Amino acid sequence: MGSLSIWHWVVVIAVVLLLFGRGKISELMGDVAQGIKAFKKGMSEDETAKVEPADPESIKTIDHQEPTQPVGSQTEKQKVG
């Protein structure tokens, strides 16, 4: 009584085909396959990025220098004269 027979599965498949149609199910399975492929590709790219060390010459830094006098401000000598 708790197990599903072949007739239960036939009825379930028939209802699914009636609701979604044959074309929609094949499109859905194609989309799922593409998603799995993209996921695997992303995972392999992450692993290669971890394995390959970054080239120190390709890293660029910008040295920050504080201005000697802020732009737009006046010194005491300029205010008086």
Name the residue type at position 20. F
Residue 41 maps to a domain: yes
Alpha-carbon distance of 30 to 28, in angstroms, equals: 5
Print the domain residue range for 42. 22-52
26-81, pLDDT tens digit by residue?
Answer: 888 889 999 999 999 988 887 776 666 556 666 677 777 776 766 565 555 555 55
Alpha-carbon distance of 64 to 59, in angstroms, equals: 16
- By the 8 A CB rule, do 16 and 25 touch? yes
Alpha-carbon distance of 77 to 52, in angstroms, equals: 58
Confidence tier at 10 by pLDDT (50, 70, 90): very high
Residue 35 maps to a domain: yes
Residue 4 maps to a domain: no
Residue 76 maps to a domain: no
Token pair in block for residue 10: 């036939």
**pTM above threshold 0.85:** no
Could you give the number of structural domains in the chain? 1
Q: What average pLDDT does range 4-27 have in this prediction?
A: 86
**Among the residues of 52-81, which ranges form H helices?**
76-80
